[in-house]
Structure 1
Amino acid sequence: MTNSTRARGTDKRRRLTAAAAEVVHHQGAERTTIADIAKAADVPVGNVYYYFKTKDDLVQAALSEHAEHLSVLTETLGKLPSPRQRLKAMVAAWVDQRETAARYGCPTGSLATELSKREDDELTQEAGRVMRLLLAWSEKQFRELGLDAPEDLALSFVGAYQGMSVLANALRDPEIMTRQSAALTRWIDSLTQP
């Protein structure tokens, strides 16, 4: 296999993974077909099976894509000088996605909710793992602030985001994200060390 052939294969896999994340977010895992993802990735349907054997493999790829986006975001936010700034920047990043959240919900939260209706399988566990990445990052920020019960604060923080995403989506109102994020930012500013 030449380097050129390998690069084309890597590019197709990358396009399929990105398309899986987008299409599954927009349509849900159950309604999405392999053909939908192939079309979005501009890859012939028959070629998809070379990279992903089943639709569940593509949903797994979508979850991996969400985890990668979160990793890139938290790495970028990690360059900010204080944990309070990092938490508030995370809130701002959520608000920047308010139109998408109002239309489709949180990419990981929506998928985790949908997958939770299945038997306890690998995909359900993977969705939980991605959620735990955000919780762990949030907990670390609260711990660095020297606050009591950083785990509980992280649950409140992520829960607030998930709640505002669900409401914005259910009511098709992106301004819910704007208003609730302002309240979340005030909450972050109000937290003081014991």
Structure 2
Amino acid sequence: MFSYLAAALPAGASPATRLIALQCALRMNASMRVSLSLGLLRSLRLGGNPSPWQELEQARWLCLTPGRETGEVAAVLLDDALLGQAPTRPDRCHAADWAVRAGCPSRAGVLGPLLQVVSVYLTSHSHPETGQGLNEADRTARECGIQPAELPHVLEQLAALGLLDSWRIAADTEDLGWAMRSPQ
């Protein structure tokens, strides 16, 4: 889904916009409709900010619709390519819930949207048993919506928060290797 979003969203889309787009893509139904509760958005620390929604509408990626309930934001997604990107709805909903937990670990305190996006990305690309991962550094940066030069700074922040045990960008191959911190 990160690869799809990197191609579908404008290059300058904010991390908050990417977080919302990820949740929308994973939670949409077969009619490409989605509703996100305000509680979910608050847990992502995106509750009252209309900017990410406006970015997604300006990119013609979604169109906001009146919510069925007052405690939600509803939209219809406009990119038919999404239907070919995602596994079955139960699997996507499970992944969406997992992404919320992976992006908002309790020991991280108040992660901003950028750190949440990168944390979810690294966790989703890590070996489930060892927590280790390997990927091209420039691909990681592109799929997280940041410039390659920003990646080391973001990784340092994740390490300082205790989410990453270690990371390294190989000088010869420019591959990023990392080890996620094991939950205590």
Q: Does TM, scored on the shorter chain, surpass 0.5?
A: no
Greater helix fraction, Structure 1 or Structure 2: 1
Q: Which has the larger radius of gyration?
A: 1
Q: TM-score band (shorter)?
A: under 0.3
TM-score, scaled to structure 2? 0.26
